[in-house]
Amino acid sequence: MSAHDVARDGARASAGEARAPLADGTAASGGEPAQAPFVQAAFRLARGGFSLDASFVLDGRGACALFGPSGAGKTTLLRCLAGLEPDARGRLVVDGETWHDDAPSRRVFRPPWMRPVGYVFQDAQLFAHLDVRGNLRFGERRVPRSDRRVRFDDVVGWFGLDALLARRVGSLSGGERQRVAIGRALLTSPRLLLMDEPLSALDVEARARILPRLAALPRHFGIPVLYVSHALSEVARLCDALVWLDAGRVRAAGGLDALLPDVGAATDDEGLSVSLHGCRVARHHPGDELSELSLDGAALFVRALDLAPGTTVELLVHARDVSVALAAGERSSILNELPARLVSVHEARGGVVLRLQTVGGRLLLARITKRSLRQLELRPGVELLARVKSVSVAGGASPELV
């Protein structure tokens, strides 16, 4: 598993069956003690023609995606966690505290205002009668001073809100409004941050500016995040783990690296991609209008960047832009080649998705045809070259927020 240990009884991932810890803290696969999950959730809810029956656990680090198509139950599940669905049946334990339990012998339901969660909606839902400072302070005032773990100045600086504090919310752009909404949720010092497709209403440019901050948010503030999305490219950039929902049921749950190939293959998502962190600008080649990046000792070339050598950037590599070869030596227009090992093959509509592991231990995905798979006689374990036709720089170490 990755940063999140997410599991569901009976859910199977490509790496094997995801096993939830037993109630006594012993791992299901052996007798060694396992860390108690930070979140243990099991909910059932019927409404009209839709029914939710979903269970999962989280270890409380990083970000976990609730992923699935429209109508899968993602928002409903998030609302159950927030206490906004009092008719839901089931059980919810967060950091050892029971927030919801409908067992006749216990009957626990902690109302929404008593749950230390932050909730960010698709639309910002800011208070129009308050300026930006007032909206942020509203979130802060919900928490007694002794319980405030997130500082006002830290949130303002992190999201670049200094120049906006005196502005009325009606004058803000969509990206600015969402940054204020996220900041307000953080200032409630939540133990869990719930985000319901907060970027869905933003244009491409605004989304690109805020994504690097969201990716680093769990680590910077020390708050686990549950992030609803139906965009795999977004999930790949932001999350460490994934709960895959379909028609109100958990189809699979586990670490992102293990599940991403299966999810991408099954959904035929053109956005299937991986995010490569920790790439550094090595040097520039002005004559070729290229910049050379260093990744685990390998060189990658991208279009010329206006960044100083040593700057850290994040790369986004789409599965459709990766091909494979068994040997080096062929002359090719593709500049980027990474030695890799084939880990697994996943059936997809119109082809297959290959899960690759680079020499540096990085995950890469390649979408190729079944004919190519047969001709190259590819099997798990084979060593090959991953040829990356296109690489996009997703964000730098200190992206500008405007």
Position with higher pLDDT, 76 vs 122: 76
User: In this predicted structure, which of 8-12, 43-47, 181-185 has the lowest mean pLDDT?
Assistant: 8-12
Q: Does the structure show a pLDDT above 50 at 336?
A: yes
Mean pLDDT, rounded, of the chain: 85
* Rama region for 168: left / alpha / beta (φ>0; ψ in -120 to 50; rest): beta
Mean pLDDT in residue range 386-401: 66
Amino acid, single-letter form, for residue 147? D
Give the model's confidence band at 208: pLDDT under 50 very low, under 70 low, under 90 confident, else very high: confident
**CATH number of domain containing 253:** 3.40.50.300
Indicate whether 285 and 311 sit together in one domain: yes
Give the model's confidence band at 330: pLDDT under 50 very low, under 70 low, under 90 confident, else very high: low
Indicate whether 246 and 283 sit together in one domain: no
pLDDT, tens only, 104-117: 888 899 999 999 99
Token pair recorded at residue 149? 């773990």
Q: Does the structure show a pLDDT above 60 at 13?
A: no
Indicate whether 215 and 362 sit together in one domain: no
Position with higher pLDDT, 75 vs 31: 75
263 in helix, strand or coil? helix
Q: How many domains does the chain divide into?
A: 2
Looking at the chain, the number of H-run helices and the number of E-run strands are 8, 23
Indicate whether 229 and 371 sit together in one domain: no
Q: Can you give the pLDDT at residue 94? A: 94
Please give the backbone phi and psi of residue 134, each rounded to the nearest 5 degrees, phi first: -65, -40
Identify whether 174 is part of a domain: no
The last residue of a domain, from among 267, 294, 312: 267
Mean pLDDT in residue range 195-215: 87
Q: Does the structure show a pLDDT above 60 at 351?
A: yes
The last residue of a domain, from among 227, 246, 267: 267
Strands laid side by side in the 290-295 sheet: 298-303, 290-295, 273-285, 312-318, 392-396
Identify whether 159 is part of a domain: no
Q: Does the structure show a pLDDT above 60 at 29?
A: no
The last residue of a domain, from among 235, 267, 299: 267
Give the model's confidence band at 188: pLDDT under 50 very low, under 70 low, under 90 confident, else very high: very high
Q: Does the structure show a pLDDT above 90 at 98?
A: yes
Cα–Cα distance, 367 to 49 (Å, whole number): 36
Q: Can you give the pLDDT at residue 7? A: 36
Q: Does the structure show a pLDDT above 80 at 332?
A: no
State the DSSP string of 203-241. Answer: -HHHHHHHHHHHHHHHHHHT--EEEEES-HHHHHHH-SE
Indicate whether 200 and 78 sit together in one domain: yes
Cα–Cα distance, 34 to 197 (Å, whole number): 32
Q: How many CB atoms lie within 10 A of CB 143?
A: 16
Cα–Cα distance, 333 to 120 (Å, whole number): 45
Cα–Cα distance, 149 to 263 (Å, whole number): 36
Non-local CB neighbours of 120 within 8 Å, separated by 6+ positions: 178, 181, 182, 185, 193, 194, 195, 196, 198
Task: Give the angle subtended at the CA of 196 by the CAs of 162 and 207, to the nearest 5°.
Answer: 50
Mark out the alpha helices in 64-173 (DSSP H runs): 74-82, 132-141, 152-158
Which secondary structure element, helix H or strand E, spans residue 183, and what is its range? Answer: helix 174-186
Cα–Cα distance, 139 to 187 (Å, whole number): 5
Cα–Cα distance, 165 to 143 (Å, whole number): 20
Cα–Cα distance, 138 to 7 (Å, whole number): 36
Identify whether 195 is part of a domain: yes
Cα–Cα distance, 197 to 398 (Å, whole number): 23
Identify whether 132 is part of a domain: no
Strands laid side by side in the 383-388 sheet: 322-325, 383-388, 336-348, 351-358, 363-368
Mean pLDDT in residue range 313-334: 84
Indicate whether 232 and 322 sit together in one domain: no
Q: Can you give the pLDDT at residue 31? A: 46
Cα–Cα distance, 141 to 187 (Å, whole number): 8
Beta-bridged to residue 144, according to DSSP, are none
Identify whether 150 is part of a domain: no
State how far Cα 81 lies from the chain centre.
18
Identify whether 23 is part of a domain: yes
Beta-bridged to residue 401, according to DSSP, are none
Task: Give the angle subtended at the CA of 146 by the CAs of 144 and 149, to the nearest 5°.
Answer: 95
Q: Can you give the pLDDT at residue 3? A: 33
**Parent domain of 378:** 275-395
Indicate whether 219 and 197 sit together in one domain: yes
Does residue 355 contact residue 265 with C-beta atoms inside 8 Å? no
Q: Can you give the pLDDT at residue 35? A: 65
Indicate whether 345 and 260 sit together in one domain: no
Token pair recorded at residue 48? 């009209």
pTM of the model: 0.81
Position with higher pLDDT, 20 vs 136: 136
CA dist list (Å): 21 to 33, 38, 127: 9, 11, 42
Indicate whether 382 and 314 sit together in one domain: yes
Position with higher pLDDT, 329 vs 354: 354
Give the model's confidence band at 168: pLDDT under 50 very low, under 70 low, under 90 confident, else very high: very high
Position with higher pLDDT, 308 vs 27: 308
Indicate whether 344 and 390 sit together in one domain: yes
Identify whether 4 is part of a domain: no
Shortest CA distance to 395 belongs to which of 174, 183, 234? 234
Indicate whether 95 and 208 sit together in one domain: yes
**CATH number of domain containing 317:** 2.40.50.100
Q: Does the structure show a pLDDT above 60 at 19?
A: no
Identify whether 177 is part of a domain: no
Mean pLDDT in residue range 220-233: 92
Q: Does the structure show a pLDDT above 50 at 23?
A: no
Indicate whether 202 and 342 sit together in one domain: no
Q: Can you give the pLDDT at residue 360? A: 87
Mean pLDDT in residue range 92-120: 92
